[in-house]
Amino acid sequence: MGWLAKILGRKSEEALPLYTAVVARARAPHWYLDGQVPDSVDGRFDMIAAILGFVVLRLEQEPEGAATSAVLTERFVDDMDGQLREIGIGDVVVGKHIGKMMGMLGGRLGAYRAGLAGDGIDAALVRNLYRGAAPAPAALAHVRDGLLAFRAKLDATPIADLAEGRLP
């Protein structure tokens, strides 16, 4: 874990099972094949951010989810830091990229939260998963329906199960 985890005394493996499950869910081929999410570095980031966002929104629903949400987000930052370094981004600008990614995640959380509370998430999906270029209606429906079904299952999943990495 990063420096923040050391300061807060969190164990390095905390939230790893949940983060691993989020990434595995986001890498499922159907998102990229049936859902036409671009199978690229950006598309994979966007899909991880979508799944992570839905999990964080669930964790926010109950006070006991706050600590898991914070550690899960730290895990995301650590992973993105490693991914950036792996593709050749140097120390000088990694922090700037991480800041931008965190802003993107925050924006997605707001967009998904608003969409779920309002008229639906289609506009948020087009903007955030497809970077403004709407896919075929069937592809958008596939992703929307998949994420909404995932959300419904998340809502029925106890926070303790999520903290252990058991995604529905």
Give 27's pLDDT tier (boundaries 50, 70, 90). Answer: very high
Could you report the per-residue pLDDT of 141-158, keeping only the tens digit for each?
999 999 999 999 999 999
Could you report the per-residue pLDDT of 112-135, keeping only the tens digit for each?
999 999 989 999 999 999 999 999
Which residue bears the tokens 């990694």?
Answer: 94
Per-residue CA distances from 94 to 47, 56, 80 (Å): 21, 24, 9
Residues in the chain: 168
The whole-angstrom separation of Cα 93 and Cα 9 is: 27
Mean pLDDT on 46-68:
95
Q: Is 73 left (phi over 0), alpha (psi -120 to 50) or beta?
A: alpha
* pLDDT number for residue 1: 44
Closest CA to 20 of 42, 51, 46, 43: 51
First to last CA, the chain: 26
